[in-house]
């Protein structure tokens, strides 16, 4: 079975350029007592997700953020073969059910059948802004669920949204009927840069340069910004489960059929910057609004703690709030960028029912010279004790910093983790960003790490 196919050690792709090979040293990673970590697969391009099929074969999604070609690879006889490519960049993840591979890529969910047939089952998702649609997960009653991220950071299109010049009509859409207070946010008009002193006034949930009027109404959209959606396995009967998230980047059902999701919080950028926003892990109750763009972790953003350094205190956008937003199950520090997580139901690996979470790490520099965002959150794997609702570090670089900063051989961008047929944990590390661009990766720097119990 699996252990006969893949012995412990490093497997690599074809055509590796040794000059661009990433330095790896598992000894640079601290992991709690009783476990060992190793580099299992190296020299891959911007991996974003991984699954095993029923035969124990490895399938990996290449996001396309290193080469521009988003594709799915399968390990065959120790080498990777491309089984599907040409997806809209980026792929955000893959999943597998009953012989069918489900690929989430910007604006789409597609099926790949064993004979190579490809079918787009969900299309037209609002994923052309800052965030996109998440990998799918499957409910006990065989429906697929996924998260849909927001177009903007906090509900207002601004000069932080570099896509404005390409898509000037793009904006967020609400998941319920809401009334807006009608604030407008000024910025130097990037659509008329040839005109001096031209200012764009942009309202919430409006395209760039389109102001609100007082007490405007926004209607309900099924494919709302910051929503959780579900559909049949063929993509039919798409419906909204909940909304009010900024970036619900990963969802998963526990063994009891309860849905959990991660949500990445606001950044202190753009026309409506919000600072000190947490990243949150939620138990999902259908039909509720979870607070975006007016709450963070269940707390209103007009609280003084959310005022950006040297900036303006955020005010609320909604005059009528659909409900009191639920509090998170647990809360992670700002800039954690929590991504994929997995429930552990193997008592031989660790505490039964607890959750292991991949922390991707900060995607922005909040303050010049500020290293706190690197030192206090992200670039690690954490464990959530589901009974006490506490978080502890499971594995982290010895320095506390990502490998690119410390010149070490440990973690850089942990993005997803899963448990394999052999009972080990597999951690997808997307690799090194091109300096100054958190959306682009250096080829051949992606890694799959493997964690196992010493006596297992």
122 domain residue, yes or no: yes
Structure tokens at 456: 């297992």
Provide the residue range defining the domain that includes 336. 26-148+240-453
Residues 64 and 430 sit within 8 Å (Cβ to Cβ): no
Residue 366 in this model has a pLDDT that exceeds 70: no
Q: What is the mean pLDDT of residues 70-78?
A: 94
**pLDDT category, 368, cuts 50, 70, 90?**
very low
Among 151-165, 221-235, 374-388, whose mean pLDDT is lowest?
374-388
194 domain residue, yes or no: no
363 domain residue, yes or no: yes
Q: What is the mean pLDDT of residues 420-440?
A: 95
Angle at 66 between CA 65 and CA 72, to 5 degrees: 70
Residue 399 in this model has a pLDDT that exceeds 80: yes
Q: What is the mean pLDDT of residues 408-417?
A: 98
**pLDDT category, 22, cuts 50, 70, 90?**
very high
pLDDT value at residue 20? 63
Residue 373 in this model has a pLDDT that exceeds 60: no
pLDDT value at residue 12? 36
Structure tokens at 62: 């290449």
32 domain residue, yes or no: yes
Residue 323 in this model has a pLDDT that exceeds 90: yes
Residue 181 in this model has a pLDDT that exceeds 60: yes
β-strand partners of 111: 102, 119
What is the C-alpha separation between 84 and 103, in angstroms, rounded? 10
Q: What is the mean pLDDT of residues 330-346?
A: 97
Q: Can you give 267-334 as a three-state secondary structure string?
A: CCCCCCCCCCCCEEEEECCCCCECCCCCEECCEECCCHHHCCCCCCCCCCCECCCCCCCCCCCEEECC
Q: What is the mean pLDDT of residues 33-49?
A: 97
336 domain residue, yes or no: yes
Q: Average model confidence (pLDDT) for the chain?
A: 92
Q: Residue 293, preceding bond cis, omega within 30 degrees?
A: yes
> Residue 373 gets which letter from DSSP?
H
Q: What percent of the chain has pLDDT over 70?
A: 93
What is the C-alpha separation between 427 and 405, in angstroms, rounded? 20
164 domain residue, yes or no: no
Tens-digit pLDDT profile for residues 306-321:
999 988 999 999 999 9
30 domain residue, yes or no: yes
**pLDDT category, 8, cuts 50, 70, 90?**
very low
pLDDT value at residue 375? 57
Q: What is the mean pLDDT of residues 23-52?
A: 98
Residue 367's region, left for phi above 0, alpha for psi from -120 to 50, else beta, is beta
Structure tokens at 416: 């997803």
Q: What is the mean pLDDT of residues 29-33?
A: 98
Per the model's pLDDT, the better-predicted residue between 360 and 197 turns out to be: 360
pLDDT value at residue 137? 98
pLDDT value at residue 370? 42
pLDDT value at residue 237? 98
Among 91-100, 159-168, 288-297, 366-375, whose mean pLDDT is lowest?
366-375
Residue 453 in this model has a pLDDT that exceeds 90: yes
Q: What is the mean pLDDT of residues 342-358?
A: 98
Q: What percent of the chain has pLDDT over 90?
A: 88
Per the model's pLDDT, the better-predicted residue between 7 and 365 turns out to be: 365
Q: What is the mean pLDDT of residues 334-351?
A: 97
3-state secondary structure (DSSP) of residue 148? strand
Tell me the residue length of the chain: 456
Q: Please state the domain count of the chain.
A: 1
Q: What is the CATH number of the domain that holds 60?
A: 2.120.10.30
Q: What is the mean pLDDT of residues 81-99?
A: 97
Residue 240 in this model has a pLDDT that exceeds 80: yes
pTM: 0.93
pLDDT value at residue 278? 97
* Residue 306 backbone dihedrals phi, psi, to 5 degrees: -95, 0
What is the C-alpha separation between 134 and 388, in angstroms, rounded? 28
314 domain residue, yes or no: yes
**pLDDT category, 273, cuts 50, 70, 90?**
very high
pLDDT value at residue 316? 98
pLDDT value at residue 195? 76
Residues 394 and 381 sit within 8 Å (Cβ to Cβ): yes
């Amino acid at each position: 079975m699996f252990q006969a196919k893949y012995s412990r050690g490093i497997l690599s792709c074809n055509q590796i350029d040794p000059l661009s090979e990433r330095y790896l040293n598992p000894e640079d990673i601290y992991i709690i007592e009783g476990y060992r970590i190793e580099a299992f697969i190296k020299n891959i391009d911007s991996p974003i997700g991984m699954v095993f099929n029923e035969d124990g074969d490895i399938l990996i999604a290449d996001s396309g953020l290193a080469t521009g070609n988003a594709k799915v690879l399968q390990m065959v006889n120790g080498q990777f073969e491309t089984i599907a490519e040409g997806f809209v960049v980026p792929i955000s993840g893959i999943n597998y059910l009953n012989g069918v591979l489900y690929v989430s890529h910007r604006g789409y969910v597609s099926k790949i059948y064993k004979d190579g047939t490809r079918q787009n089952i969900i299309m037209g998702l609002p994923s052309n802004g800052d965030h996109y649609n998440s990998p799918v997960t499957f409910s006990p009653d065989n429906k697929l669920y996924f998260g849909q991220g927001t177009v903007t950071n906090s509900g207002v299109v601004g000069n932080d949204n570099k896509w404005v010049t390409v898509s000037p009509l793009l904006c967020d859409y609400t998941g319920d009927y809401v009334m807006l207070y009608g604030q407008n946010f000024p910025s130097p008009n990037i659509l008329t840069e040839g005109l001096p002193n031209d200012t764009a006034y942009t309202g919430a949930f409006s395209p760039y340069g389109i102001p609100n009027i007082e007490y405007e109404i926004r209607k309900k959209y099924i494919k709302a910004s910051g929503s959780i959606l579900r559909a049949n396995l063929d993509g039919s009967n798409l419906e909204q489960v909940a909304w009010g998230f900024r970036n619900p980047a990963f969802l998963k059902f526990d063994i009891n059929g309860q849905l959990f999701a991660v949500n990445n919080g606001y950044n202190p950028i753009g026309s409506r910057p919000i600072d000190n926003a947490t990243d949150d892990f939620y138990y999902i109750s259908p039909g509720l609004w979870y607070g975006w763009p007016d709450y963070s972790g269940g707390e209103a953003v007009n609280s003084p703690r959310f005022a950006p350094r040297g900036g303006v205190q955020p005010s609320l956008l909604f005059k009528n709030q659909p409900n009191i937003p639920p509090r998170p199950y647990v809360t992670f520090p700002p800039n954690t960028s929590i991504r994929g997580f997995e429930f552990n139901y193997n008592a031989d690996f660790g505490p039964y029912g607890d959750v292991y979470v991949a922390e991707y790490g900060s995607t922005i520099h909040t303050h010049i010279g500020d290293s706190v965002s690197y030192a206090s959150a992200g670039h690690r794997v954490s464990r959530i004790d589901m009974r006490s609702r506490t978080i502890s570090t499971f594995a982290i670089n010895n320095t506390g910093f990502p490998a690119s900063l410390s010149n070490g051989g440990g973690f850089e961008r942990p993005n997803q983790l899963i448990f394999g047929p052999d009972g080990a944990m597999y951690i997808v590390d997307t690799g090194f960003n091109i300096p100054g661009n958190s959306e682009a990766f250096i080829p051949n720097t992606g890694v799959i790490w493997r964690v196992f119990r010493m006596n297992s």
